[in-house]
Structure 1
Amino acid sequence: MDVRQLRHFVTVAETLHFGRAAERLGMTQPPLSQSILSLEQALGAALFTRTKRTVSLTPFGAAWLPHARAALERMNALPEIARRLREGEAGRLELSFISTADYSILPDLVRRYAQLCPGVEIVLTEATSDVQIAALLAGRQHAGLIIPPSGMALPEALRYRPLVSEPLVMALPESWLREGRLSLAAGRLPPEALAGLPLIIFPRRSAPVFHDLVTGYFAAHVGGAHVVQEAIQMQTIISLVSAGMGVAMVPASLRNLARAGVRYVDRQGRRPAWRPGSSGGPATPPRPWSASSRSRRRARCPDRALAPRQAVTLFSSVRRAAARRWPSSPSRALCRMAGGATAATPAGSSHWWVQTLR
């Protein structure tokens, strides 16, 4: 049995006339009759009752007809399905993200992508940057929101795109402010007030750029950081601040994580910024830049050019070899869409995102 025989059967069933069916199919009647006989032999049952004047479906043929039609409809749909898969309009997108992205660009990014590509199943996984990069290189993830390793030492197999940057603010125990342990000046925390404060922070192995940014700020203003606890989830860090265990320096988007006992305050003076991003090219214009060219990548990163110690970057990565095989996968579509999101972000905020070409 093949698709050709199914088409022959459905056409004869619709016309109930071998001559008209052959004409519609663009063939002569004898080979059509032979095709139907061959199909009936393969099925082990007659599909039509034939007389010299009439052709009618047998009960078996009438029952089998809707199944044959459904099979043909699915076959006819395969080219369009292939096109949608090729163009990134259908399929599955494995997107990983760092915890802070959950409070900044991730919700809007996923919402907009779901509207543009409703046929794509989006699978979200929260993970630290180091875990994401390993998963991307192994092909277990398609795209991710990360902070890059220190010195922009990112794998050459991935491509990246900056998304948005945001300033860092202090998360303080509300009780410390009530008790007078900390004092604000015009609603801001003076840098000298950080001296000796217990600090809760990401471990360096998970987010080296973010860790160095925060500890570097403490070193520059109060001689060093007094780290009392490390945690790999921002929610955990904020919970520890709420318990009065210490203070934390977090992206401003964490203000969206309302937690009793925690107050988010700006700091006086120049504020360090944090930047997440995406692979495949700069956000505006959406022209891809090569991850294999370290000099070009360095030149196009505004934080390295202007304030290399005051920003962290979120990236998107793409696997190059796969990109040549499947140039418009769901992850590439997300990368293109994410590029449009950056232009709308307010100045001074910062994020990047990572994508694999699969």
Structure 2
Amino acid sequence: MELRHLRYFIAVADEQSFSRAAERLHMAQPPLSHQIKDLEKELGVQLFDRKSHPIQLTPAGQAFLEESRATLAQLEQAVTKTQRIHQGELGYLTVGFTSSIANGVFPEMLRTFRQRYPEVKLILQEEHSASLIQRLRDRQTDIIFLYLYHEIYEAHDLETMSLTQEPLVAVLPKNHPLAAKSQISLADVKDEEFVMPLHQVVAGLSEQIYHLCSQAGFVPNVVQTAVFMVTILGLVAGETGISILPSHVLNIQREGVVYRPIQEPTATTHLTAVWRQNDSSTILQQFLEIIKSLSIYQPEISMISASELEVGCVS
């Protein structure tokens, strides 16, 4: 039995006439009658009462008609679904990210993609840097977002896109002597105690901070590490130490800390999208087009505290 047999049968049932069904199917009547007889022979039942005028379905034919319509409808749905998946209108995309990027441009990427492709499901996975790369290589994720670091530089099986070169800022306790300065040189903080992002979690950011300090001639004295940006801010507010973080940290309002620009022009970090080479997924390509098109906003760093921003005391 082939799908064409079902279409022939439905046409005859609808038209209640072999001749009209043949016209509808753009074929001669004798071959159509022959195909229906072959179908009845294969099923072992009579589908039509040919003695009635117009011809009528037998009870078995009526049951088979319902199932035939359902089968063709399901096939059409499958074809439509397959085509929409191929066109990137339907399906899912698994996105991996580190917690440190959630306060920057990442939310805008997600919002824009959801608006344009509402029937594509985004599966979000928050992991540390090394785990993100391994999951990408294991095909457990389709694209990841992290700060660029040495393993990405050296990878030959991955593609990258730099999304933003974001300035780093010094994060100081509100009453710290350096808070009186409009901007900070790295040399100013060489003797300070540091609260640092945990390397295993945000390797790229941690590597960049160590590299900058090395260029300034010192190794940071790290007294505490933390996983989340908000934790680092809390520890700085508690005068545990100072920190250096991406400027999007200004989006987190935390009383007791101030942010200062860093004088050195190399004090930046690169937020990067990473995916497998030769990944032909249409959904992935559409996601990449969206993140390419987004304008990346870099917060202005000024001499104001997070608490002042929160209560609107600064004009």
**TM-score (norm. length: structure 1):** 0.71
Sort the Cα spacing of 1:16 and 1:230 in 2 relative to 1 into closer, same or farther, 3 A. same
Amino acid at match of 1:265: Y
Instruction: Confirm whether residue 3 of structure 1 aligns to residue 3 of structure 2.
Output: yes
Sort the Cα spacing of 1:248 and 1:338 in 2 relative to 1 into closer, same or farther, 3 A. same
Cα deviation, residue 143, structure 1: 0.7
Amino acid at match of 1:333: Q
Instruction: Confirm whether residue 145 of structure 1 aligns to residue 145 of structure 2.
Output: yes
Report what 2:296 is aligned to.
345
Report what 2:232 is aligned to.
237
CA contact (8 A) 1:189 1:265 kept: no
Report what 2:274 is aligned to.
316
Structure 1 segments unaligned to the other structure (5+ residues): 277-313, 350-358
For residues 102-117 of structure 1, the aligned pairs below 5 Å read 102-117=102-117
Q: CA offsets per residue over residues 42-89 of structure 1, 9 Å max, x none?
A: 667654443242223345554554553343234235454434323323
Cα deviation, residue 213, structure 1: 2.1
- Aligned partners of 1:58, 1:250: CA distance in 2, in Å? 78
Instruction: Confirm whether residue 167 of structure 1 aligns to residue 167 of structure 2.
Output: yes
Q: CA offsets per residue over residues 290-327 of structure 1, 9 Å max, x none?
A: xxxxxxxxxxxxxxxxxxxxxxxx2322332xx4xxx3
Sort the Cα spacing of 1:14 and 1:215 in 2 relative to 1 into closer, same or farther, 3 A. same
Amino acid at match of 1:318: R
CA contact (8 A) 2:248 2:298 kept: no
Q: Which of these residues, 227, 230, 245, is aligned with residue 222 of structure 2?
A: 227
Amino acid at match of 1:184: A
Cα deviation, residue 346, structure 1: 4.5
CA contact (8 A) 1:251 1:274 kept: yes
Q: Which of these residues, 270, 286, 289, is aligned with residue 333 of structure 1?
A: 286
Cα deviation, residue 124, structure 1: 0.8
Instruction: Confirm whether residue 215 of structure 1 aligns to residue 242 of structure 2.
Output: no
Please say which of residues 133-142 and 26-35 is displaced more in the overlay.
26-35
- Aligned partners of 2:214, 2:64: CA distance in 1, in Å? 78
- Aligned partners of 1:143, 1:151: CA distance in 2, in Å? 16
For residues 46-57 of structure 1, the aligned pairs below 5 Å read 47-57=47-57
Amino acid at match of 1:155: A
- Aligned partners of 2:67, 2:235: CA distance in 1, in Å? 61
Amino acid at match of 2:84: R
Give 3-state SS (helix, strand or coil) of 1:141's partner: coil
Q: Which of these residues, 258, 261, 264, is aligned with residue 267 of structure 1?
A: 261
What is the aligned length?
299
- Aligned partners of 1:43, 1:256: CA distance in 2, in Å? 69
CA contact (8 A) 1:94 1:123 kept: yes
- Aligned partners of 1:249, 1:263: CA distance in 2, in Å? 12
For residues 1-358 of structure 1, the aligned pairs below 5 Å read 1-40=1-40, 47-58=47-58, 61-62=61-62, 65-150=65-150, 153-172=153-172, 176-177=173-174, 180-185=175-180, 188=183, 191=186, 194-220=189-215, 223-259=218-254, 261-270=255-264, 272-276=267-271, 314-320=272-278, 323=279, 327-341=280-294, 344-346=295-297
- Aligned partners of 1:243, 1:47: CA distance in 2, in Å? 84
Amino acid at match of 1:27: M
- Aligned partners of 2:289, 2:249: CA distance in 1, in Å? 26
Cα deviation, residue 220, structure 1: 4.9
CA contact (8 A) 1:100 1:253 kept: no
Amino acid at match of 2:257: R
- Aligned partners of 1:74, 1:234: CA distance in 2, in Å? 50
CA contact (8 A) 2:94 2:122 kept: yes
- Aligned partners of 1:60, 1:268: CA distance in 2, in Å? 83
Give 3-state SS (helix, strand or coil) of 2:194's partner: strand
- Aligned partners of 1:244, 1:29: CA distance in 2, in Å? 92
CA contact (8 A) 1:316 1:335 kept: no
Amino acid at match of 2:179: L
Amino acid at match of 1:336: E
**TM-score (norm. length: structure 2):** 0.80
CA contact (8 A) 1:188 1:266 kept: yes
- Aligned partners of 2:69, 2:237: CA distance in 1, in Å? 63
Structure 2 segments unaligned to the other structure (5+ residues): 301-315
